[in-house]
Amino acid sequence: MIREFAAAKVNLALRVGALRDDGYHPVDSIVVFADWGDALSVAPADDLSLCISGPQAEGLSPGDDNLVTRAVRALATAAGREAAGSITLEKHIPAGAGLGGGSADAAAALRAFNRLWELEWPLDMLAGIGAEIGSDVPACVWSQPLRMTGRGERIRPIDAWPDFPALLVNPSLPVATGPVFAAFDQAPAGTGAAFRPTADTGMQAILESLRAATNDLTDAAMSVQPVIRDVLDTLSTTGEPDMVRMSGSGATCFAIYPTASHRDAAAAPLQATRPDWLVQPVVFSGASAITPA
């Protein structure tokens, strides 16, 4: 059996351009991956099957429209072989959370079956296949700090990056991406600042650059799901966060703290006062989140 970790994807900064003629928005995003997420196991089998379990499995379909099975079929087509294997997916990332859960699962499936079938294809080839499945899949194939541009298919890995202790907070309410982008398209023109790289790779220098950037979807997401503002305001008052922001198209927000001790001190009262929210202490890793072969 082969196991792959499907790390939660977090947009530290996200600039979004106007809708293109092909139906996509150009993006410019700094992406990192948490040390928390889903787990995917695969084993040889005569046909293709998917079993979903875990605390966030309810309501998810294991059918052919699932991104995991779509990814396996796409890889099989590219490899000229039959799509066959037994897949078990343990879900911890909520659906509609702005954490790329489905994309992370699809990317993990590409990496897992690449190993199971002994293809030995490099990540850039797997990312190319992933781009046909979803805009976030290429980034999740790499699962390391990176800059994502185009509609998400252009990946530039970032090699020198610190670990960031952080809290992920989701109000247990899904937010579909489509309505958020629709609200963004209806808003007045203009986007915020993009991340500007710094030669100093220390935590404080990078945080300063990140704080000067934005997530352009925040206002649109709050118009679709107003509780996001409550999450952001609440996180801003927990401990001494260095930065508070929404990830992706929401509803998950995050706070970065100076140390793991600051993070844990902020998490405990929040978990006690908001038991209806998902409050997850994490580290945004400066290294690859891919399971070693």
Task: Map residue 31 onto helix, strand or coil.
Answer: strand
Q: pLDDT at position 190, please?
A: 62
- The Cα–Cα gap between 31 and 127 comes to 15
* Catalytic residue (choose from 9, 38, 105, 242): 9
- The Cα–Cα gap between 252 and 141 comes to 21
Measure Cα distances from 50 to 41, 42, 65, 99, 131 in Å: 10, 9, 11, 21, 22
Q: pLDDT at position 95, please?
A: 93
Residue with tokens 């252009």: 154
9 is catalytic: yes
Which pLDDT tens digits describe the chain residue by residue (293 residues)? Answer: 999 999 999 999 999 999 999 889 999 999 999 999 999 999 999 999 999 999 999 989 888 789 999 999 999 999 999 999 999 999 999 999 999 999 999 999 999 999 999 999 999 999 999 999 999 999 999 999 999 999 999 999 998 899 999 999 999 999 999 999 999 999 866 667 888 888 788 889 999 999 999 999 999 999 999 999 999 999 999 988 999 999 999 999 999 999 999 999 999 999 999 999 999 999 999 999 997 77
Q: Which domains are present in the chain? A: 2-157 (3.30.230.10), 164-285 (3.30.70.890)
Residue type, 227: V
A 10 A CB-CB count for 178 gives 10
* Catalytic residue (choose from 28, 105, 136, 242): 136
136 is catalytic: yes
CA terminus-to-terminus distance, the chain:
12
- Of 50, 27, 51, nearest in space to 180 by CA: 27
How many residues in total does the chain contain?
A: 293
Contact status, residue 49 vs residue 63, Cβ threshold 8 Å: no
Q: pLDDT at position 189, please?
A: 60
